[in-house]
Amino acid sequence: MPKDRAPTRIQKKNRAAIIEAALNVFSAHGFRGATVDQIAAEAGLSKPNLLYYFPSKEAIHTALLSGLLDVWLAPLHDLDETGDPLQEILSYVHRKLQMSRELPRESRLFANELVQGAPRIHQALSNDLRVLVDEKSEILTQWMDQGKIARLHPHHLIFSIWALTQHYADFDVQVRAILGDEDPFEGAEPFIDTLYRKLLTP
């Protein structure tokens, strides 16, 4: 494996190519369904060469997930206590839907992991994620106390946003099978916007 000095030009390029390839393969087939050969081929490397950069399949998966977790949680992280409640929430919803549209592989990567019991990221869920959600739920509760938005269970409000937005990335095949040629997000955007405006009006 490469020494842990400053990464060389080649190391940067190949590590990036591997992570990109791994995202493709893991998101499409899940951890178990992905093969190292597949990832290597997609990254344009031989299998031993790939394993020169990452010690194992598991290590690639871990690196990929932990690298993405921040990106994935950024929109919720940005929910601003001092902003306008309805606008803040609608903006969060909007960003999440945008991510389903633009980063569907990332969404499916997490979906794959979660639906199988999250054996490799259970840690992060019970710690980082839980803390973040509790923190933001606190803000939501304050807004409700102040009568700025309707009173609802804050955790379930957040779950609903995840469910409604990620559905379009995770179950893309199903959505498209039903909508046919229609662009899913064309209709999803106003639908979800209306939903939260109605729901959150006190």
- Residue in the block written with tokens 């019991």: 117
Per-residue x/- mask for DNA, residues 136 to 165, rule CB under 7 A?
A: ------------------------------
CA-CA distances (angstroms) from residue 45 to 32, 38, 67, 81, 172? 21, 10, 21, 47, 30
CA-CA distances (angstroms) from residue 142 to 91, 146, 156, 162, 180? 18, 6, 16, 21, 43
Minimum gap (Å) between residue 104 Cβ and its own copies: 10
Find the binder of DNA among 26, 42, 57, 188 (CB under 7 A): 57
Find the binder of DNA among 30, 52, 98, 124 (CB under 7 A): 52
Which of its own copies, DNA, none does residue 77 bind to, with CB < 5 to 8 Å depending on kind? Answer: none
Minimum gap (Å) between residue 176 Cβ and its own copies: 9
Find the binder of its own copies among 74, 130, 138, 146 (CB under 8 A): 130
Q: How far apart are CA 50 and CA 37, in angstroms?
A: 9
Give the nearer residue to its own copies in terms of CB position, either 17 or 133: 133
Structure tokens at 128: 């980082």
Q: How far apart are CA 82 and CA 33, in angstroms?
A: 45
Find the binder of DNA among 16, 46, 146, 183 (CB under 7 A): 46
